[in-house]
Amino acid sequence: MPVTVGMKFDMNREKMRKLEGFIAMTLSTLAAMAGLFWLVFILGDVLVHGIKALNMGLFTNDPAPAGIEGGGLRNAFVGQIMITFCATLIGVPVGVLGGTFLAEYARGRTIAKIISVLSDIMVSVPSIVIGTFIYAVVVKPVGHFSGWAGAIALAIIMIPVVLRTTEDMLTLVPWTLREAAFALGAPYYKVIIQVVYRGAAAGILTGILLSIARVAGETAPLLFTSFNNSFFSVNMNEPIASLTVTVFQYAMGPYESWHAQAWAASFVVTIFILLLTIIGRVVVKWRFGK
Amino acid sequence: MPSQQRRNPADIVFSSVTAIASFSVIVLVIGIFYVLVSESSLAIGRFGITKFLASTDWDPVRESFGALTNIYGTVVTTVLALTIAIPVAIGIAIFVTEISPNFLKGPIGAAIELLAAIPSIIYGMWGLFTLSPIMSNHIEPFLKRITADIPVVSILFEGTPMGIDILTASVILSIMIIPFTASISRDSFNLTPSIVKESAYAIGATKWEVIKNVVVPYSKLGVFGGIVLSLGRAIGETMAVAFVLGNSHRITTSLLDAAATITVTLANEFAEADNDLYLSSLFYLALVLFVMSFITLAIAKLFLLKAERKYSR
Amino acid sequence: MNSISKLILSVTLALLLCINIADAAEKLNGAGATFPYPLYSAWAYDYNRITGVQINYQSIGSGGGQRQVTERTVDFGASDDPLTPDQVRKDGLLQFPAVIGGVVPVLNLGNVRSGQLKLDSGTLCGLFLGEIKFWDDDRLKKINPELKLPHTEVTVIYRSDGSGTTAIFTNYLNDTCPAWKEKVGAGKAVKYPSGIGGKGNEGVANYVKRAAGSIGYVEFAYAKQNKLVFSQLKNAAGSFVSPGFESFEAAAESGDFDPKKDFYLLLTNAPGKGSWPIAGATFILLPKEKTASNKGVVKFFDWAYKNGDKRAKDLVYVPLPQALEEKVRAYWKENGIY
C-alpha cells in the first residue's frame, strides 16, 4: 500500500537525518578533542622537558661555550626582560594615545575608521617583515645591532594591538559619563584622563597585558635587530641576548645540553605568556562579567 | 563634544599628541612599504617584477634570484595547513557553541585561546623535537604505504620520509591557526539570534540541521573572514615552520620534500647575505610577503566588516 | 595637567634608565663564520675570565660576517672564505688568518662507523649532485669492497646560509669534479640540486644526526663534538686519509700565506701524501678605520696565538704555524694596530 511505503520512507529519512546529525556531532566533538589534545600534547611536552632542564644555574650563570660544563641563560632572561620592557615603554603610550584619538577626538570620522582598519591589518602583518624594516631604518644607519632596534621592532608590533583595544574599550564607556563631566566645565582632555580612562582602565590594562604576551614570544623580528650576545649585557645600545632567539639558536644546535636549555627557556617563556594571558582574561571577566 | 572645550590650550596639545600617536600607524604602513621598495630597488631594477615573481632560480653564486620557489612553498604549506585546520576549527566552534554542556564551554574556549597564545617558536621547537620524529617514523611511512598503489596521489608522498618537509611544516602550521579560525568561527556562530534557531528547532529540525541550515549560512561571512584572517597569519608565520621546512629552493611535487617559504628564507639568509644584490633580493622577498599578507588581511577585514554590519543590523 | 606630566615624566625616566644601564666592561662584537665558532667562543670565555674583556662572537655564517663588517655593524667579521686583496681594499678592510681547520663529509648510515667509508672526489661529487641515489651504488661499492652498504636512499644535507664551510667544500668539488663546476660552481651559498638545508654547522650536524641515509659536510670540530660519523677521502696524492689533526696540519704546511695579498689563500686539494683535501684557514676581517676597536680585537687574537693553542687542539683546530703568526704580527704592526 502506498501509504505504508510512504511511512516507511519517512521512517528511513528520519533515521538518515538522525544518523547524519549523529555523525556530524561526533565529528565536531572529535575535532574539539583534537584541539585539546594538541594543547595538552604541546604544553605537556614543554612542561616535562622544561622542568627536567630547570635549575638555579640557568638563571644565575651566563652561557658557557659548547663543550664546557655549566652555563646558563642569565643574559637571555635579563635581555628578554629589557627588550620587552623597553618595547612596552614605547608601544603602550603610543598605542593608548592613538586609541584615544580614534575613540574620542576622531570618533565617527572616516580617518578613525581608516586607521582602525589599518591597525587591524598591522596586527597580523608578518613580524619578520617588521624585522627587515627595522634592520633597514635602525640597524644600518646606526651602524650596529642593538637592544633598542629589537625593542622598537616589538613596539611596532605592540602599537596596533594596544591601539585597537584602547579604542574598543573607550568606546564602551558610556557617552553620558563624559557629558556629566563636561557639565562640570572640565576640558575634554581632563575628562578623558580622569573619567574615561578610569572607566576603561581594566580593559586597557588587559589590552596591554595581551600585547606584552604577544611580543614576549616573538623571535623573527629580533633575529636581525637585537641580534644575540653570549655575555651578560644590560646596555640597550649593544646587541643583547633574548630568550626566543637563544631558543632558536640552541634548538637548531647539535648539543644535547643546548637542547635541554632550549626546552627550559621555552618552558619559562610559555609559562610567562600563558600567565599574562590568563590574568588578562580574568581581568576582563572580573570587570565586565559574562 | 562641546566645541568651546577644544579651545583650551592643554586640550589642543593633548589632542595633537593623540592624533600623532594614531597617525603613527599610517606612517608605519607607508614607511614599511616605502623602505622595502627602496631597499629592494636594486633587485627590482635587475629582475623586474614579473621575471622575479616567475623565476624559480635562487642562486647566490650566479647572482640570479627569483621568488617563485619561495612563493610556492608559502602557498603550498598555507593551503595544506588550512585544509587540515578548517574542518577541525569549525568542528571545535560547533562543539563549543552547540554541543558542549554549559560547564565545559568556558574551559574549552579558554583552552583554545591559550593554544593561540603559545609563541610560534615553541610550536617550531616542539615540531622539530617531538612531531618530526613521529612524522618520519610513523605517519609518513604509513601515508606512503597506503598511497603507494594509487596513481597521482603517490606522487605526493615520493621520497624518503625525513620529518623535515612540507607535510610536517603544514601540520604544525595547522595546529597554530586552528585556534584563530576556531575562535572567530565560534564568535560568529554565537551571533546567530537564538530566536532563529529556536524556530528551526520548533519545526522539528535536528541539531545538525539547525547548524547546517541556519547557523552556518547566517554566520558564513564571519567564518569566511576568520578563515582568510588565518590564511593571512599562516602566510607570515616564520618560526613555527623555520625548524622543520629544510630551506630548500626547489619546486617539488612531493610533500615529503624540503621547501622554503618566504619567511623561512628571510630568517635563514637575511643576516648572512654577502652582496648587495642578494640582500636587495631578500628585501624584495620581504616586500612580496608584505604585499601578499596585506592584501589577504585586507580582504579578511572586508569580510569581517561586512559580517559586523550584517549582524548589527 | 598633573597626571599627564607625571606620566610623561615617568616614561622618560624609565627610557633614560634603559639607556643608562651600561656597564664598564670593554666589549667587542664579532660575527661571521660558524666554522670557528666553538673555538672563538671558548677563547672568548677564557679571555673574559682573565682580562674581563667581552668578545661577543655570534656565528651567523661567513657571508654574514663579510657583510656585517662591510656595513660596519660589528667590530670584526670572520669568514672561512678569504676575500681577494681587491675586495679587501675596496671595502676598506684588513684580513688575517686565525686558525686552520678542515671540512669533513659526515653521514648517518646504519652501522657504518667513522673512517670506515671511503670516498673520492668523484663519488662525493656524485652524492652531492644527486646522481648517486642509493648507498649501494656501484661506484661506492667499488672503492668500499669490504663494506656492506645498505640499499638506503641518499639524503643530502647542506648549509642553507652563506657559509665559508660551503665555500671551502664547493671549492674542493669545483677543483676536482668537472660536472660540479659546470652545474653548481663554488661559493659561500650555492644552488644545490637536491637535499635539505640546515642553518649553520649546527643545523647540518643536527639534521644529519636525525636522518637515516643522510650525508652532509661540517667543520671537523662539530663532527667530533657531536660524535658524527665521518668518511675517509682520497687526496691529491692519491691516498685515502682520515680527517684529523695530522692531516689538517699537513695541508696547512703546504700553504704559502702572503701578507701582501692579505693572506688570501685556499687550502683545498693540497699536495702531500698525508694532506686532508678539504682544509682551510679561517679569517678575521677588520674595518680598517676603526683603529681603537681593532687594537682590542688584535690584542685578543695575539693572546689566542700565544695561549690558545691547547684549547684549539682540544677542539681539533690547527693553530697557525709559528712563522705565519709572526707574519700576521708584522701585518698588524704595519697597519698600526699592534
Q: Nearest chain A Cα to B229, which residue?
A: A124
In a domain, B105, yes or no: yes
Partners for B (CB, 8 Å, 3+ pairs)? A, C
Q: Which residues of C touch B274 (CB under 8 A)?
A: 62-64, 66-67, 162, 188
CB-CB under 8 Å, B279 with C67: yes
In a domain, B256, yes or no: yes
Helical packing angle, A110-124 and A147-172, nearest 10°: 130
pLDDT for A3 beyond 50: no
pLDDT band at B113 (very low <50, low <70, confident <90, very high): confident
CB-CB under 8 Å, C60 with B60: no
CB-CB under 8 Å, A140 with C71: yes
Which of A107, A129, A135, A279 is the best substitution to test chain B (most B C-beta atoms within 10 A)? A129
Tell me the three cell numbers of residue B119. 609563541
CB-CB under 8 Å, C4 with A144: no
CB-CB under 8 Å, B60 with C191: yes
Does C222 share its domain with C208?
yes
Q: Could you read off the pLDDT of A63-105 as tens digits, one per residue? A: 887 667 777 889 899 999 999 999 999 999 999 999 999 999 9
Residues 114-133 on A with a CB inside 8 Å of B are 114-115, 117-122, 124-133
Residues 265-324 on C with a CB inside 8 Å of A are 314-315
CB-CB under 8 Å, C155 with B162: yes
Does C130 share its domain with C171?
yes
Nearest Cβ partner of C58 from A228, A238, A253?
Answer: A228
Range of the domain at B107: 40-312
Which of B274, B277, B278, B283 is the best substitution to test chain C (most C C-beta atoms within 10 A)? B274
CB-CB under 8 Å, A217 with B118: yes
State chain A's mean pLDDT as an integer.
87
Q: What is the pLDDT of residue C15?
A: 62
pLDDT for B29 beyond 70: yes
For the segment B8-21, the average pLDDT, to the nearest whole number, is 90
Q: Which residues of C touch A229 (CB under 8 A)?
A: 29, 56, 58
Q: How many CB pairs under 8 A join B and C?
A: 98
Nearest-neighbour CA in chain C from A194: distance (Å): 9
Nearest-neighbour CA in chain B from C154: distance (Å): 9
Q: Which residues of A touch C31 (CB under 8 A)?
A: 227
Chain C residues whose C-beta is within 8 A of a chain B C-beta are 1, 4, 60-64, 66-68, 153, 155, 160-163, 184-192, 194-199, 207, 210-213
Does C151 share its domain with C68?
no
pLDDT for A169 beyond 80: yes
pLDDT for C2 beyond 80: no
Q: Which residues pair with C28 in a beta bridge?
A: C55
Does C202 share its domain with C259?
no
Strands B64-65 and B58-59, how do they pair?
A: antiparallel
Element (H, E) at B217: helix B216-236
For the segment B230-245, the average pLDDT, to the nearest whole number, is 89
Q: Could you read off the pLDDT of B36-88 as tens digits, one per residue? A: 999 999 999 999 999 999 998 888 777 889 999 999 999 999 999 999 999 99
pLDDT for B93 beyond 60: yes
CB-CB under 8 Å, B132 with C64: no
C13 touches chain A (CB under 8 A): no
Which of C184, C210, C214 is the best substitution to test chain B (most B C-beta atoms within 10 A)? C210
Q: Which residues of B touch A118 (CB under 8 A)?
A: 25-26, 29
Does C88 share its domain with C180?
no
Q: Which residues of B touch A160 (CB under 8 A)?
A: 25
Does C288 share its domain with C324?
yes
In a domain, C217, yes or no: yes
Partners for A (CB, 8 Å, 3+ pairs)? B, C
Q: Could you read off the pLDDT of A227-256 as tens digits, one per residue? A: 888 888 888 888 899 999 999 888 877 677
Q: What is the pLDDT of residue A10?
A: 65
pLDDT for C250 beyond 80: yes
Helices (H) and strands (E) in chain A, counts: 13, 0
Domain count across chain C: 2
d(CA A32, CA B100): 10
> Is this complex's ipTM strictly greater than 0.85?
yes
Of C227, C252, B128, the residue nearest C218 (C-alpha):
C227
Does C307 share its domain with C231?
no
d(CA B54, CA B38): 21
Q: What is the pLDDT of residue B44?
A: 94
Of C164, A132, C205, the residue nearest B266 (C-alpha):
A132
d(CA A217, CA B119): 5
CB-CB under 8 Å, A126 with B263: yes
Q: Which residues of B touch C93 (CB under 8 A)?
A: none
Q: Could you read off the pLDDT of C110-163 as tens digits, one per residue? A: 888 888 899 998 999 999 998 999 999 999 999 999 888 888 889 899 887 767
Which of A133, A191, A242 is the best substitution to test chain B (most B C-beta atoms within 10 A)? A133
C26 touches chain A (CB under 8 A): no
Residues 52-111 on A with a CB inside 8 Å of B are 93-102, 104-106
CATH assignment of the domain containing C245? 3.40.190.10
pLDDT for C18 beyond 60: no
Cα–Cα distances in Å, from C212 out to B246, C35, C207, C208? 15, 24, 10, 8
pLDDT for C336 beyond 80: yes
pLDDT band at A32 (very low <50, low <70, confident <90, very high): confident
Domain count across chain B: 1
Q: What is the pLDDT of residue B2?
A: 47
Does C134 share its domain with C191?
yes
DSSP result, B101-163: -HHHHHHHHHHHHHHHHS-HHHHHHHIIIIIHHHIIIIIHHHHHHHHTTSTTHHHHT-S---S
Residue C27 phi, psi dihedral angles, 5° rounding: -125, 140
Residue C31 phi, psi dihedral angles, 5° rounding: -155, 155
Q: Could you read off the pLDDT of B133-177 as tens digits, one per residue? A: 899 888 988 998 888 888 888 888 887 777 888 999 999 999 999
* Domain range list for chain A: 2-53, 59-288
Tell me the three cell numbers of residue A62. 651566563
Q: What is the pLDDT of residue B184?
A: 87
Nearest Cβ partner of A252 from C202, C225, C314?
Answer: C202
Q: Could you read off the pLDDT of A251-286 as tens digits, one per residue? A: 877 677 888 899 999 999 999 999 998 888 888 777
In a domain, B44, yes or no: yes
Residue ranges of E strands in chain B: 58-59, 64-65
Range of the domain at C83: 26-101+255-267+278-334
Helical packing angle, A147-172 and A74-100, nearest 10°: 40
Q: Could you read off the pLDDT of C77-94 as tens digits, one per residue? A: 998 889 999 989 999 999
pLDDT for C52 beyond 70: yes
Of C134, C132, C138, C126, the residue nearest C150 (C-alpha):
C134
For the segment C193-208, the average pLDDT, to the nearest whole number, is 82
In a domain, C10, yes or no: no
Does C196 share its domain with C237?
yes
Q: What is the pLDDT of residue C1?
A: 47
Q: Which residues of A touch B98 (CB under 8 A)?
A: 28
d(CA C24, CA C45): 18
Q: Which CATH superfamily, name and number, covers A59-288? A: MetI-like (1.10.3720.10)
Tell me the three cell numbers of residue A40. 595538552
Does C243 share its domain with C296?
no
B150 or C329, greater pLDDT: C329
Does C185 share its domain with C289?
no
Which of C62, C190, C199, C285 is the best substitution to test chain B (most B C-beta atoms within 10 A)? C199
Q: Could you read off the pLDDT of C268-282 as tens digits, one per residue? A: 888 888 899 998 888
C2 contacts: CB under 8 Å, gap ≥ 6: none
In a domain, B8, yes or no: no
Nearest-neighbour CA in chain B from A29: distance (Å): 6
Q: What is the pLDDT of residue B1?
A: 47
3-state class (DSSP) for residue C32: strand
Does C219 share its domain with C298?
no
Q: What is the pLDDT of residue A243?
A: 92
Nearest-neighbour CA in chain B from A180: distance (Å): 12
CATH assignment of the domain containing B131? 1.10.3720.10
pLDDT for C22 beyond 80: no
Nearest-neighbour CA in chain A from C144: distance (Å): 29
Q: What is the pLDDT of residue A208?
A: 92
Q: Nearest chain C Cα to B8, which residue?
A: C1
Element (H, E) at C97: strand C93-108
Nearest-neighbour CA in chain A from C216: distance (Å): 14
Nearest Cβ partner of C56 from A67, A85, A239?
Answer: A239
pLDDT for A119 beyond 90: yes
Q: Nearest chain C Cα to A246, which residue?
A: C58
CB-CB under 8 Å, B246 with C196: yes
Nearest-neighbour CA in chain C from A273: distance (Å): 23
